[in-house]
């Protein structure tokens, strides 16, 4: 842990399970709601207008989006069974769906949108249930590159919105209102820090809307005519169950973007765990699964209500870190505020009346930051020749397909035009390349009953691997010891008894990486996390029984790193064993 981590963690005023005063919780919830209201309500407005939807449907979509975001935010916090993260994760309309949802409305209408969103949400439940199986496919390289492709598909829509002004408007109205929005957001974001950066989009949109109001672009009549309380004028459009060519052409894209949204949720749910506790904890991937499952519930509700899907907002992490309040009460307050706001048409109208050029400028900033986020994810995961090739080929192929520059005479008719969407086309290429690398990766596997009596078989398996790698007896002994202590630790509870839920199978995978040995144990275990227990050594050793302490100390001594990922169905422990100098010389001779 760095000094910065220590300072940040010591500034946490309320941890996730602590209860601040209700007034403080609702005050922070209101601040949070104002920060993300633009994304929640303005994004459906952009999609409906880009897809040619009616004003009645726009009112309905905005109402449904606000209500569902409130419901799912509370669900994320309170955690019902395996659904929900148990942390403050504000839910909002997903910007990743802008292009594909606009296409659904344009080609099939709101009823087609409802059907596609509802059906694609089912795949998110499957992902949440078996998240451990997708860990090698939905890699940071895949997720980051696909996120970089989202702006490629969305920006043409944003550029078209720059021209959405009433007839007879001044020629300078659109460029000045858009310019004011971008300049204010950029100036605040670049020259300030902390909380002011969070408020930059809000202040920029307000400034651009005031400039638009001066030129007559802001629809003040819409706000004045909206009721203070009640349901929207529009109604539910129903479902399109014809399952025609449009449905089958767009469904793969919706499924793919749903998986991309899940990747964003995974990242946010990992990050919020890091800033919600005073003392460092290993990431609980069961909470991550819960976050993805709650995201799936939100998407299913969005489909049933015929509005855009939602996702977790990374603003949750920034707000929690700045305020030092990670209490679940804040999340409940935030959700309640959005549910109430959904029944205040005048409040929604204030956002829906924002001029098109201002919305376009806001989306431009949002997409620019999203592109940088994707790039950062790829870089932070480490760039080597293979990852660089996958990223470069996938990204530029996506750009080519989106712009119609890659054999358009063939692509336009292939699979109903599936590859005309740059994010879908590029994403499929990236995943295909990643799967090829994964299948071609040289690694040895052993599946065996998860019992300590199977240790001789494990030792024999590791001995053959060490021999093939050219390692000496010392390195082989270290691999044996690491395997034994890891298995003993996984099988042992604090009481020294084996868990009744321990499965009968263990999958052990071993490979070379930069000359070292990387062992991966996949099985189900007890409730504790090995990383947390190793961190306790020397601090709170009294909480760990003596026998377990010995195994943990030996494991810490022999392994250069131990990472424990806990899922509901599987526990995965990855142990890295550095090659000794003697082993290296033996391998080179």
- Using a pLDDT cut of 70, give the percent of the chain over it: 86
pLDDT single digits (tens) 565-579 = 888 878 888 888 887
Q: In DSSP terms, which residues pair with 263 in a beta bridge?
A: none
pLDDT at 152: 83
| 449-472: pLDDT as tens digits | 888 888 899 999 988 888 888 888
What local confidence, expressed as pLDDT, does residue 196 receive? 74
> Which is nearest to 365 in space by CA: 184, 568, 225?
184
Mean pLDDT of 388-412: 83
Distance of alpha carbon 213 from the chain centroid = 36
CB 89 within 8 A of CB 272: yes
pLDDT reported for residue 528: 66
Q: 20-51: per-residue pLDDT in tens?
A: 888 888 888 887 888 788 788 888 888 888 88
Strand partners, 80: 83
Nearest partner of 257 among 97, 142, 104, judged by Cα: 97
Q: Contact at 8 Å (CB) between 342 and 66?
A: yes
Q: Which residues contact 334 (CB under 8 A, 6 or more apart)?
A: 29, 32, 33, 70, 73, 88, 90
pLDDT for the residue 499: 47
CATH number of 444-588: 3.30.565.10
**Tokens 């793969």 appear where?**
252
User: Which residue, chain included where needed, has tokens 């010389």?
Assistant: 585
Residue 231 — pLDDT band, cuts 50, 70, 90? confident
pLDDT the model gives residue 219: 78
Quote the distance between the C-alpha of residue 192 and its chain's center: 27
CA distances from 120 to 123, 127, 255, 275 (A): 6, 11, 5, 31
Report the pLDDT value the prediction gives residue 194, as an integer from 0 to 100: 64
Rounded to 10 degrees, the C-alpha dihedral 446/452/454/459 comes to 70
- Confidence class for position 113, pLDDT limits 50, 70, 90: very high
Predicted pLDDT at 416: 52
Number of H helices, E strands in the chain: 23, 7
| pLDDT at site 110 | 92
pLDDT of 87 higher than 60:
yes
Q: In what order do the strands lie in the sheet with 505-513?
A: 444-449, 505-513, 516-523, 571-577, 561-566
DSSP class per residue in 560-584:
SEEEEEE-SS-EEEEEEEPPPHHHH
- Is the pLDDT at 106 greater than 60, yes or no? yes
Residue for token digits 């672009």?
Answer: 217
Helix axes 173-191, 195-214, angle to 10 degrees: 160
Mean pLDDT of 500-524: 78
Q: What is the dihedral of CA 518, 147, 254, 162, to 10 degrees?
A: 180
| Weakest mean pLDDT among 58-62, 293-297, 414-418, 562-566 | 414-418
Give the pLDDT band (50/70/90) at residue 301. Answer: very high
Rounded to whole angstroms, how far apart are CA atoms 460 and 523? 20
Q: What is the DSSP letter of 489?
A: H
User: How crowded is the C-beta side of 441, counted as CA atoms within 13 Å?
Assistant: 19
> In terms of C-beta density within 10 A (0-12 exposed, 13-18 middle, 19 or more buried), how is residue 122 classed?
middle
The tens digit of pLDDT for each residue in 194-226 reads: 667 777 878 888 888 898 888 888 878 877 877
pLDDT at res. 229: 86
User: How confident is the model at residue 2, as a pLDDT?
Assistant: 41
**With contact defined as beta carbons under 8 Å apart, do 301 and 83 qualify?**
no
Check pLDDT > 50 for residue 11. yes
Beta pairing partners, 446? 508
Q: What is the C-alpha to C-alpha distance for residues 348 and 226, in angstroms, rounded to an integer? A: 9
Confidence of residue 498 (pLDDT cuts 50, 70, 90): very low
pTM, 2 dp:
0.75
Confidence of residue 412 (pLDDT cuts 50, 70, 90): low
Beta bridge partners of 93: 310
**CB-based burial, 506-539: b 16+ in 10 Å, e otherwise:** bebbbbbeeeebbbbbbbbbbebbbbebbbbeee
- pLDDT tens digits, 386-396: 888 989 998 89
Q: Which of 50, 42, 164, 46 is nearest to 107 (CA)?
A: 50
Decide: helix, strand or coil at residue 96: helix
Burial 242-252 (b: 16+ CB within 10 A, else e): eeeebbebbbb
Assign 418 a pLDDT band (cuts: 50, 70, 90): low
pLDDT at 535 over 80: no
Q: What burial class does residue 74 get, using C-beta atoms within 10 Å of its C-beta: 0-12 exposed, 13-18 middle, 19+ buried?
A: buried
Beta-strand pair 91-93/444-449? unpaired
Place 384 in a pLDDT band, splitting at 50, 70 and 90.
Answer: confident
Domain ranges of the chain: 14-165+221-356, 444-588
Mean confidence (pLDDT) of the chain: 80
The pLDDT of 357-367, averaged and rounded, is: 83
Residue 440 has pLDDT above 80, yes or no: no
- What pLDDT is attached to residue 71? 94
Are 286 and 75 contacting, i.e. CB atoms less than 8 angstroms apart? no
Instruction: Assign 70 a pLDDT band (cuts: 50, 70, 90).
Output: very high
Strand intervals (E) in 80-229: 91-93
Segment of 480-489, 527-536, 548-557 carrying the highest mean pLDDT:
480-489
Is pLDDT of 157 > 50? yes
**What pLDDT was estimated at residue 68?**
94
Residue 307 pLDDT grade (very low, low, confident, very high; cuts 50, 70, 90): very high
pLDDT recorded at residue 8 = 45
Q: Residue 495 has what pLDDT? A: 42
Q: Nearest Cα to 117, choosing from 351, 305, 367?
A: 305
Q: What share of the chain is helix, strand, coil (3-state, %, to 5)?
A: 65, 10, 25
Least confident of 84-88, 369-373, 534-538, 560-564: 534-538
Q: What is the pLDDT of residue 530?
A: 62
- The secondary structure of residue 14, as a DSSP letter, is B
User: Residue 413 has what pLDDT?
Assistant: 59
């Amino acid at each position: 842990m760095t000094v910065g981590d220590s300072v940040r963690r010591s500034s946490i005023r309320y941890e996730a399970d602590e209860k601040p005063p209700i007034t403080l919780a609702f005050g922070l919830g209101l601040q949070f709601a104002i920060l993300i209201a633009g994304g929640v309500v303005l994004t459906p407005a952009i999609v409906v207008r880009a897809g040619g939807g009616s004003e009645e449907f726009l009112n309905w979509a905005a109402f449904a989006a606000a209500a569902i975001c409130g419901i799912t935010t509370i669900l994320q916090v309170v955690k019902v069974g395996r659904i929900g993260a148990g942390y403050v994760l504000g839910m909002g309309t997903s910007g990743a769906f802008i292009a594909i949802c606009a296409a659904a409305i344009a080609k099939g209408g709101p009823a087609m949108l409802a059907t596609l969103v509802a059906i694609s949400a089912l795949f998110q439940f499957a992902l949440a249930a078996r998240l451990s199986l997708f860990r090698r496919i939905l890699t940071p390289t895949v997720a980051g590159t696909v996120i970089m492709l989202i702006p490629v598909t969305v920006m043409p829509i944003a550029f078209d919105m720059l021209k959405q002004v009433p007839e007879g408007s001044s020629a300078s109205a659109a460029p000045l209102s858009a310019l004011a929005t971008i300049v204010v957001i950029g100036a605040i974001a670049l020259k300030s820090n902390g909380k002011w950066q969070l408020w930059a989009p809000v202040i920029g949109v307000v400034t651009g809307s005031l400039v638009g109001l001066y030129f007559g672009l802001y629809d003040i009549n819409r706000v004045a005519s909206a009721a203070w309380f009640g349901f929207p004028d529009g109604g539910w459009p129903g479902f399109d169950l014809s399952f025609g060519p449009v449905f089958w052409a767009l469904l793969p894209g919706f499924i793919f973007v749903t998986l991309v949204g899940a990747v964003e949720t995974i990242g946010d749910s990992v990050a919020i765990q890091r800033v919600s506790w005073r003392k460092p904890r290993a990431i609980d991937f069961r909470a991550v699964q819960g976050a993805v499952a709650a995201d799936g519930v939100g998407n299913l509700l969005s489909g049933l209500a015929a509005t855009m899907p939602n996702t977790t907002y990374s603003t949750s992490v920034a707000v929690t870190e700045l305020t030092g309040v990670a209490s679940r009460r804040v999340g409940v307050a935030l959700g309640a505020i959005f549910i109430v706001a959904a029944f205040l048409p005048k409040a929604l109208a204030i956002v829906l009346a924002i001029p098109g050029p201002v919305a376009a400028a806001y989306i431009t900033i949002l997409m620019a930051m999203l592109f940088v986020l994707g790039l950062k994810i790829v870089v932070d995961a480490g760039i080597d020749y293979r990852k660089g090739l996958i990223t470069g080929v996938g990204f530029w192929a996506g750009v080519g397909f989106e712009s119609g520059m890659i054999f358009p005479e063939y692509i336009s008719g292939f699979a109903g035009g599936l590859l005309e969407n740059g994010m879908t086309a590029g994403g499929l290429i990236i995943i295909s390349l990643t799967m090829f690398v994964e299948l071609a990766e040289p690694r040895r596997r052993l599946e065996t009953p998860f019992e300590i009596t199977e240790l001789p078989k494990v030792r024999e398996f590791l001995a053959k691997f060490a021999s093939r790698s050219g390692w000496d007896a010392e390195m082989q002994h270290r691999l044996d010891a690491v395997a034994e202590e890891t298995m003993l630790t996984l099988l042992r509870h604090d009481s020294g008894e084996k868990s009744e839920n321990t499965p009968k199978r263990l999958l052990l995978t071993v490979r070379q990486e930069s000359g070292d040995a990387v062992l991966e144990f996949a099985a189900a275990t007890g409730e504790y996390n090995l990383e947390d227990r190793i961190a306790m050594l020397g601090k709170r050793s009294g909480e760990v029984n003596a026998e377990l302490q010995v195994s943990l100390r030996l494991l810490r001594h022999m392994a250069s790193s131990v990472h424990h990922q806990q899922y509901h169905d599987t526990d995965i422990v990855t142990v890295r064993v550095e090659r000794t100098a003697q082993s290296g010389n033996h391998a080179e001779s």
